[in-house]
Amino acid sequence: MRPTKKVLIFKHSRTWSGDRCSAWFESNGYQVEWCYPCEGQSLPDPDRFAAAVIFGGRNSANDREAWIAEEHRWIERCLKSDCHFLGICLGGQILARVLGAEVSTHADNLTEIGFVDIVPSEHAGECQSLPLKLFQWHREGFELPSDSTLLCSSERFPNQAFRHNSNVYGLQFHPEVNHSVIRQWFARNTDYESEGLDAASRARHLDYAKRNDDSITDWFSGFLGRWLEKT
């Protein structure tokens, strides 16, 4: 029998901690198991888990690294099981590729870094009550997979979140990161000055993160709860 309170989270770096996602699982009685595929760890059977989440990372879903290919194959297995799946940023891009959609850079080589305006679609559902801005850090985006529902958009990357079937989601934005995590990311990515992320904009993003921490946490907590209730 599939465990009902066990969750697998794929993470692609050990240099930051304190995300909203694992905190919600743990506070709601779930056992969280971490997996680091980029370190060569073997990927466990998805049938051992009620749900799985793949976080973001520096790599591209189009990269040829062996562990990227392993994640592709693992998601294919996950989609054939009853395991709920959530892909965030890189995780959402790999999911989109598994579902046959293209992942690519912006036509004008634009990026999204920092808090970006998000607009719900007419079929937004669980994204209808999204906060106005959510944190982003990416230079690639995904096309909308076939047989999937677009949930929300942004100006530069119109495919920001989609639902596939009833319990599979891909997100481009980062609702899992709070102001503490954003501060950690800024500290270890000082080479992004060329992206327009100077000291003043970093301070503005951190201030926004602090002021809106409760509203983003409330939305993401509700999203996770509704996602895991689906069959």
CA atoms of 222 and 71, how far apart (whole Å): 27
Q: How many CA atoms lie within 13 A of 9 on its CB side?
A: 22
What is the structure's pLDDT at 131?
83
- Tell me what the pLDDT averaged over the chain comes to: 93
pLDDT tens, residue by residue, 33-92: 999 999 999 999 999 999 999 999 999 999 999 999 999 999 999 999 989 999 999 999
Across residues 9-22, what is the average pLDDT?
94
Per-residue pLDDT, averaged over 167-178, amounts to 97
Tell me what pLDDT residue 125 has. 78
Render pLDDT for 114-167 as a digit per residue (tens, 0 to 9).
999 999 998 877 777 888 899 999 999 999 999 999 999 999 999 999 999 989
Report the CATH number at residue 68: 3.40.50.880
89 φ, ψ to 5°? 55, -110
Specify the number of domains making up the chain.
1
How far is it, in rounded angstroms, from Cα 168 to Cα 92?
10
Please give the residue range of the domain that contains residue 182.
6-229
Q: Give the catalytic positions in this structure.
A: 89, 174, 176
Q: What is the pLDDT of residue 193?
A: 61
User: Is residue 224 a part of any domain in this protein?
Assistant: yes
- Tell me, what's the pLDDT at 90? 98
Average pLDDT over residues 86-106: 98
The pLDDT assigned to 215 comes to 95
User: Average pLDDT in the 192-216 region?
Assistant: 88
* 90 found inside a domain: yes
For residue 148, being part of any structural domain is answered with yes
Residue bearing tokens 């998000």: 118
Let me know if residue 1 belongs to a domain: no
Q: Looking at residue 139, what is its pLDDT?
A: 94
How far is the CA of 194 from the CAs of 60, 109, 113, 201, in angstroms?
20, 13, 11, 12
